[in-house]
Amino acid sequence: MAKLLEKIVWALSLALTASIIAYTWYITAPAERITITNMPILLDGRIFLPLPQKVSELTVEETILLRRSIREYTSEPVNLSDLAMILWAAYGITEPRLGFRAAPSAGATYPLEIYIVVGERGVKYSEGFLDEGVYKYEPHSHTLLLVKRGDYRRALMNAASGQSWVGEAPLNIVICAVFERTTRVYGERGRVRYVPMEAGHVGQNIYLMATALKYGAVVIGAFNDDQVAKTIGSKLEEEPLYIIPIGVPRRQPKTSFEDIWEYIESRR
């Protein structure tokens, strides 16, 4: 009887030790990276974007000079690291203590949500291409969250009165607004002024970072809101404000400060 009791105690302590080891491993092991359809993706469906860093050679004034609305693109993809910089410039974190962003926001209410619509072979990284689909940018963790799979560029183009550059660009950014975040503080003024102004700041940041990295972009305001929202699968409270196709320009815009001097001088 004593022997049996001893065996049971042994078995129980062995089981307890094994559970403690398994539990400790479970809570301390790093999140496992697995590959689904050739895309680095975490178990919970998030893509970790390359971290923001100094990348461009152009100064701010050169970038402003070269910024143009570009509507014709080659078939080349956008690099994931460049897309990461464009998203960071749009609405990424630039002040870690308070979580402030790359664009100013009335009362730091941050009403905007950024989606991207990636076409087939539209975004490349070292081991392949991002799956075509709709993704949402999460600024705090600098990650992309897969919303839905599939190439939705044509549907987005149809929602934008058939503007061909939407369908032809390797990717489109869609800026949406949750107006309530700002109107709960500022009322109607938040809806008609502050939120659209903020979308303008974000749009310009996207233009400038895209230009600095030798991509072309154009902001699109003409579209059917409901059709765009349905296409990207945004939440009911997220209203689309801007579509921004981005791609490698067929022709790089050419201008110089000398050209601008000539223009100004001739008007003095």
Ligand X SMILES: Cc1cc2nc3c(=O)[nH]c(=O)nc-3n(C[C@H](O)[C@H](O)[C@H](O)COP(=O)(O)O)c2cc1C
Q: List residues binding ligand X (CB under 6 A).
A: 68-69, 71, 163, 218-222
Give rounded-to-5 percent helix, strand, coil for the chain. Answer: 40, 25, 35
For 100, 135, 155, 195, the CA distances from 182, given in Å and listed in that order, are 15, 24, 30, 7
Q: Which two tokens stand for residue 195?
A: 């939120």
Give the Cα-Cα-Cα angle 219, 62, 54 (nearest 5 degrees). 85
First to last CA, the chain: 110
- Indicate the residue among 162 and 221 with the shorter CB distance to ligand X: 221
**Residue 218 Cβ, how far from ligand X at the closest point, in Å?**
5
**Residue 165 Cβ, how far from ligand X at the closest point, in Å?**
7
For residues 103 and 39, what is the distance between their CA atoms, to the nearest angstrom? 30
**Residue 212 Cβ, how far from ligand X at the closest point, in Å?**
16
- Indicate the residue among 157 and 219 with the shorter CB distance to ligand X: 219
For residues 179 and 189, what is the distance between their CA atoms, to the nearest angstrom? 11
**Residue 71 Cβ, how far from ligand X at the closest point, in Å?**
6
**Residue 193 Cβ, how far from ligand X at the closest point, in Å?**
14
Q: Which two tokens stand for residue 133?
A: 């689909």
Name the closest residue to ligand X (Cβ): 221
- Indicate the residue among 84 and 175 with the shorter CB distance to ligand X: 175
- Indicate the residue among 68 and 121 with the shorter CB distance to ligand X: 68
